[in-house]
Structure 1
Amino acid sequence: MNNRTTGATQGAHGSGRPGGSKERVFSNDVRVWGVSKVRSKSAPYQLRWAVAGKRCYASFATSTLADNRRSELRQAMRRGEAFDVESGLPESEIRRAEAEAAQTEKRPDPTWWEFSREFMKRRWRTAAAKTREGFADSLASASLGMMGDKPDAPNLRLVRRAVRWAVVPAHENEEPPPDLEKVCAWLAENALPLSALRESGVAEDVHYRLAYKLDGKLAAKDTYKRRRRSFNAAMAYAIQKGYLDENPIDGLERYATASHGAIDPRVLMNAVQGREFLTAVSYVGSVHRNRGRRLVAFFGCILYAAMRPAEVVGLRLADCHLPEKGWGVLTLRETRPVSGKKWTDSGQRHDKRGLKMRDPEADRPVPIPPILVAMLRAHVKEFGTAADGRLFQNERGGLVGTSSYWRVWQEARPFAFPPYKVASPLARKPYDGRATCITDWLRSGLPVAEVARRAGTSPEVIDRHYAGCLDNSEEENNKKIEKAMGWEPPDAG
């Protein structure tokens, strides 16, 4: 038996990090046997070989994998490689593993707390306010899986708040709020290193936190998709910086997250209900404050032009073609989503962005029916425009806030609908007005592509969310088919 001893090398001890040194013994006395089958559901194919008389084995899920590994060992033997007696591995594999371990040992390994702040600082400058908020939510959710199993861990809800506060670059040199001070200190001291994500258990726990709420219920499908997308961006940055070699959740199956699928037809208003609702809006608030009347045309833009509320907030008179008779056109150019002061560059609650799903300089012309043209003309005559030309403003001339139009919408429902309808899902939120308009366009026979263009979304989204709203038009569709076939129903007489 031709044995030889090499110099000291690093050994692995549980944690996956190099441990103490030991002498490795190599030998060219190697025998490799064929693949045999054993009683195991997960890995029934076993390869056996011996190095200097010491038997080694490895199990595989398929015979192909086992045969490939046997071929690799035999090729190493033909090259004259010695094998490590302890592990049974060829010398080239041992050296490669040692080099990778040494490289990993030299690699910087920030804690999740440090990495979250570093990543956010890097992405802040180029990200929109809503995107920044999405990043913070994803990092805060993942942080719940990066705390380790420690008995003194703080309350999870406070952990999320602490991470969301800490990742804002403007807070870098500030003291945490009093209620988050201890939590921030604990996370700075105890958060797991980024390298912990290489352990399958940690990666799976982080993935779980992205998909579930704190009460253990599944998050909404869009919430999970947004969190996972943001986490993937963070992992791409970690790979770029050399902290990790791969995204640890790439191989994990996506959760069957909660999803409502198609729009619930019960939320949709018919034509009469839509007109009665807009009339009811004008009753909200005192006569002097005009709180409701200021928003009649605002909600009309949602109900008759399928505009998103943030698009209506940014609408300017200069972008409106409002003839005395006939159809008009609204050319949408910007959106004013509410993100919160800490996420915007301006320090204002509303961010100023281009249209959703469009290039920053792109616009979207939307034809509007005469009823909406009349509403907008009446609105301008009564309330004028804001100093910057915006069509809608609050009592102080500022932007219309989400809470303001949401309250008016909720207060108008009891005026517009009978009690049993108020208790139903009918028009519970402003976005239900947009769904009503899109459904009306589809029922009128407008092509899906044109509906998607007017609504500022994709045909795939229209098909996925609105197909279920057209089920009650089956009889009308059948008549269209009969007409195309030239078939007339028999006379009842």
Structure 2
Amino acid sequence: MKWPNSAAKHRANIAEAMANVTAVLVSSSKGAPDPETLRQALRGWAFQMVRDGDDELMPRKDAETPPDDISHALTWLTGASLKVAYVAQSDNLRRALNAISRRLDGKRAADNTILRKRTTLSNALRYAVERELLPKNPLSSIDWRPPQTDDEIDFEYVPGPKQAKQLLQAVRGQGPRGEHLYAFFGCLYYAAMRPSEVANLKKRNCKLPASGWGELVLTSSRPEVGAGWTDDGKSYEERGLKRRARRATRSVPIPPVLVRMLQSHVTQHGIAPDGRLFQAALGGRVRSTEYSNVWQEAREKALLPEELETPLANVPYSLRHAGVSLWIKAGVDPVEVSRRAGHSVAVLWKFYAKILRGQEQTTNQLIDTALGDSDLTE
């Protein structure tokens, strides 16, 4: 029901959550396949949809012949799965909630992951109500409190301006591969772009003057996801900007340093046939595995040994956090920061509240200056 109108990444997330709960909603574990085979059978065959020759949407297990181990797992599950009416029982729902609360290694999952998967479970039960398989959504009667999330970024591990520049130079120093990705990482920091947005940045969207500030007009992104979740079988999905209408754009002014980086990149490396600025060394899109490997090597070169043992700048996305943090600390209006970063003011406060609260004293000083020495009290 959800598949046709869902983004590829959302499809994969739904399948992951449903695989977690379905594997434990069984009447017996006798003869059960190993957990990893069962997970693959559910996620990659039962809950992954394909189109047949008549363009009809169906589960992959019905359109293709699964390997023997997958087929056995699906057959076992068919006989062991609980009927929907029994799923609504308290013990069974608690088993499902416990399943979405754990990672594959048994450790507790991240709070946001638990909440996302619980939402998927709730949506599935609501759909059962819609199909008149259940009288009501039984989750509402389960005394289970979702974890309280603290989404604020731990700025102890967000690189400062000096560290960000050192990391960028460490990227550049990795030979041809690093030089090719230097401006890619520059976009993450100086324009606070998401990696999926940088991956789809085209030359025609860049205004790069000979001097002064330039501008990037962002129109789309290329989030990376497995080929089985997209409509065209590609390992990525080209779509609109995150949390925006399909054809919405976002203008991001960029400082002279990034203008020069992009100009140099185009001169040295050219552009892809479709106009994209960044492509893999052998053509095609820059994959996350490629730029993540470059980033980890840059960390080892730029950070102190004691810093390497912490989560400081542990992922490329840290540069985006660093860029947004820099704008806030520079005194840029939070509304403008949100606009440039591509999210709402509410989201900005949710993730950057510590820094924004730290700017209150500066704001008070500005108001004092505007008020002057006037004293209206009698």
TM-score after normalising by structure 1: 0.69
Q: How does 1:378-393 map to 2 (within 5 A)?
A: 378-393=264-279
Q: Please list the CA deviations of residues 330-371 of structure 1 after superposition, one character each: whole Å capped at 9, or x if unmatched.
A: 111111111111111121111111111001111111111111
- Answer whether contact 1:409 1:429 (CA < 8 A) is retained: yes
- Answer whether contact 1:211 1:255 (CA < 8 A) is retained: no
Amino acid at match of 2:226: G
Please state how far the C-alpha of 1:473 moved relative to its aligned partner. 5.9
Quote the residue 1:268 is aligned against. 158
Q: How does 1:266-415 map to 2 (within 5 A)?
A: 266-285=156-175, 290-415=176-301
Task: Determine which structure has the larger strand proportion and give its number.
Answer: 1
Amino acid at match of 2:252: V
Q: Please list the CA deviations of residues 192-240 of structure 1 after superposition, one character each: whole Å capped at 9, or x if unmatched.
A: 1112123222122222222333444332122122212222332333222
Q: Relative to structure 1, is the Cα distance of residues 414 and 216 closer, same or farther in structure 2, using a 3 angstrom cutoff?
A: closer
Quote the residue 2:25 is aligned against. 146
Please state how far the C-alpha of 1:485 moved relative to its aligned partner. 7.0
Quote the residue 2:118 is aligned against. 228
Q: Relative to structure 1, is the Cα distance of residues 297 and 182 closer, same or farther in structure 2, using a 3 angstrom cutoff?
A: same
Quote the residue 1:137 is aligned against. 16
- Answer whether contact 1:143 1:160 (CA < 8 A) is retained: no
- Answer whether contact 2:278 2:285 (CA < 8 A) is retained: yes
Instruction: Tell me how far apart the structure 1 counterparts of residues 114 and 348 of structure 2 sit (CA, whole Å).
Output: 21
SS of structure 2 residue aligned to 1:125: helix
Quote the residue 2:311 is aligned against. 425
Quote the residue 2:340 is aligned against. 454
Please state how far the C-alpha of 1:323 moved relative to its aligned partner. 1.0
Amino acid at match of 1:270: G
Matched, 1:168 2:54: no
Matched, 1:205 2:95: yes
Amino acid at match of 2:269: F
Instruction: Tell me how far apart the structure 2 counterparts of residues 261 and 334 of structure 1 sit (CA, whole Å).
Output: 26
Instruction: Tell me how far apart the structure 2 counterparts of residues 251 and 364 of structure 1 sit (CA, whole Å).
Output: 43
Instruction: Tell me how far apart the structure 2 counterparts of residues 425 and 134 of structure 1 sit (CA, whole Å).
Output: 25
Matched, 1:186 2:66: no
Please state how far the C-alpha of 1:161 moved relative to its aligned partner. 2.0
Instruction: Tell me how far apart the structure 1 counterparts of residues 35 and 346 of structure 2 sit (CA, whole Å).
Output: 37
Q: Relative to structure 1, is the Cα distance of residues 150 and 468 closer, same or farther in structure 2, using a 3 angstrom cutoff?
A: same
- Answer whether contact 2:115 2:147 (CA < 8 A) is retained: no
Q: Relative to structure 1, is the Cα distance of residues 475 and 447 closer, same or farther in structure 2, using a 3 angstrom cutoff?
A: closer
Amino acid at match of 1:379: H
SS of structure 1 residue aligned to 2:97: helix
Q: Relative to structure 1, is the Cα distance of residues 244 and 353 closer, same or farther in structure 2, using a 3 angstrom cutoff?
A: same
Please state how far the C-alpha of 1:471 moved relative to its aligned partner. 6.6
- Answer whether contact 1:320 1:330 (CA < 8 A) is retained: yes
Q: How does 1:26-105 map to 2 (within 5 A)?
A: none
Paired positions, count: 362
Aligned-residue CA RMSD (Å): 2.3
TM-score after normalising by structure 2: 0.88
Query: Rg larger in 1 or in 2?
Result: 1
Please state how far the C-alpha of 1:320 moved relative to its aligned partner. 1.0
- Answer whether contact 2:218 2:250 (CA < 8 A) is retained: yes
Amino acid at match of 1:265: F
SS of structure 1 residue aligned to 2:139: coil
Instruction: Tell me how far apart the structure 2 counterparts of residues 207 and 359 of structure 1 sit (CA, whole Å).
Output: 33
Instruction: Tell me how far apart the structure 2 counterparts of residues 402 and 183 of structure 1 sit (CA, whole Å).
Output: 32
Instruction: Tell me how far apart the structure 2 counterparts of residues 179 and 299 of structure 1 sit (CA, whole Å).
Output: 43
Matched, 1:158 2:37: yes
Query: Percent same amino acid at aligned positions?
Result: 38
Higher relative contact order (CA 8 A, sep 6+): 2
Q: Please list the CA deviations of residues 132-184 of structure 1 after superposition, one character each: whole Å capped at 9, or x if unmatched.
A: 10110111011133112444433333322221022212322323234433322
Q: Point out the more displaced range, 476-485 or 179-188.
A: 476-485
- Answer whether contact 1:385 1:391 (CA < 8 A) is retained: yes
Instruction: Tell me how far apart the structure 1 counterparts of residues 100 and 109 of structure 2 sit (CA, whole Å).
Output: 8
Amino acid at match of 1:429: V
- Answer whether contact 2:161 2:326 (CA < 8 A) is retained: no
Quote the residue 1:241 is aligned against. 131
SS of structure 2 residue aligned to 1:245: coil
Task: Determine which structure has the larger helix proportion and give its number.
Answer: 2
Unaligned runs of 5+ in 2: 51-59, 374-378
Instruction: Tell me how far apart the structure 1 counterparts of residues 285 and 24 of structure 2 sit (CA, whole Å).
Output: 39
Instruction: Tell me how far apart the structure 1 counterparts of residues 357 and 126 of structure 2 sit (CA, whole Å).
Output: 43
Instruction: Tell me how far apart the structure 1 counterparts of residues 108 and 147 of structure 2 sit (CA, whole Å).
Output: 6
- Answer whether contact 1:261 1:464 (CA < 8 A) is retained: yes
Amino acid at match of 1:466: Y
